[in-house]
Amino acid sequence: MNKQVAVEDLGLMDFGVCWEEQERRFQGILDIKIRNRRENAGLVTPNYFLFVEHPHVFTLGKSGDKTNLLASKEILESRGASFYHINRGGDITYHGPGQIVGYPILDLENFFIDIHKYLRLLEEMVILTLADYGLKGERSKGETGVWLDVGTSRARKICAMGVRASRWVTMHGFAFNVNTDLSYFDLMIPCGIRDKGVTSLQAELGRAVPTREVKARLLHHFMELFEAETQAV
C-alpha cells in the first residue's frame, strides 16, 4: 500500500486542459492496476492531489439536468464563461477565480475500499478547515458537500463535490468557495438544489482570505484524515 501523495498546484488552468491532465493520470493508475492483475507485476500505484483554479466555467455531471443552467450560450460568453458536460457524479456546478478546486486522483486500495468513506473524509477535510476560521461546516442529509446553517432557512453551500471512480481509482473532487464571485451562481440552480443558497469564506468572514493559506490547511487535514504522506514532486 502506497500512502504517499504527490501534491501539485497547477495554478490557473483551463478546465478542458485540466480535465485531460486528470484523465491522463487516472488512466495511468488504471493501466498499472490492470497489469498487476494480469501479470502479478507487483507495481506500486501512485496517488496525486492536484490544486487548480479555473477560469469561469460551468460543469454538468453525467446524471445532471441541463435545465439547471439558467443562462444561454450568449449570456455565458458575455460573462466570459464556458460549459462542459463531464463524467463525474453530481449535477451542475461553477468554477472560477477565487475558488480552490482540488482533484485527488487516488488508488483507494492504498487507503481503504469505500467510496462513501472517501466522500465523507473529503467533507471532513473542509469542515475542519472551516473550523480553523471559526465557522461550523456541516453535512446536509442526502446532499454531498459542505454547508453552513443546515436545517435553517439560511442554509447555504460553501463547498461542492463530485467524483468519478473506476477500479477504486478516483478523479474530479471538490470546489471550495474562498474569494469567489458569487454572482455567477445566479446563472444556475447550484447542484440542482432550488431552496438553498451558496456562500464563500470571504462572504462569511467579511474579508479576503489568502488561497495559499487555505490550501495549506486543507492539505494538512487531508493528510491526517487519510493517514497519508506528502511525496516530493
Residues annotated in a binding site for substrate: 88-95, 160-162, 173-175
Helix, strand, or coil (residue 109)? helix
Determine the Cα–Cα distance for residues 54 and 96; give it in Å rounded to an integer.
Answer: 5
Cβ within 8 Å of residue 47, ≥6 positions away: 2, 3, 4, 5, 6, 104, 105, 106, 107, 110, 228, 231
Residue whose C-alpha is closest to residue 214's, from 202, 225, 224: 202
* Options 191, 198, 219, 228, the catalytic residue: 191
Residues annotated in the binding site, as ranges? 88-95, 160-162, 173-175
CB 95 within 8 A of CB 101: yes
- How distant, in Å, are the alpha carbons of 6, 92, 104 from that of 221? 15, 27, 14
Told to judge if 191 belongs to the known catalytic residues of this protein, a careful annotator would answer yes
Task: Give every CB contact of residue 151 below 8 A, 6+ residues apart in sequence.
Answer: none
Q: How many other β-carbons are positioned within 10 Å of the β-carbon of residue 6?
A: 15
Report the distance separating Cα 170 and Cα 224, nearest Å: 19
Which amino acids are annotated catalytic? Answer: 191
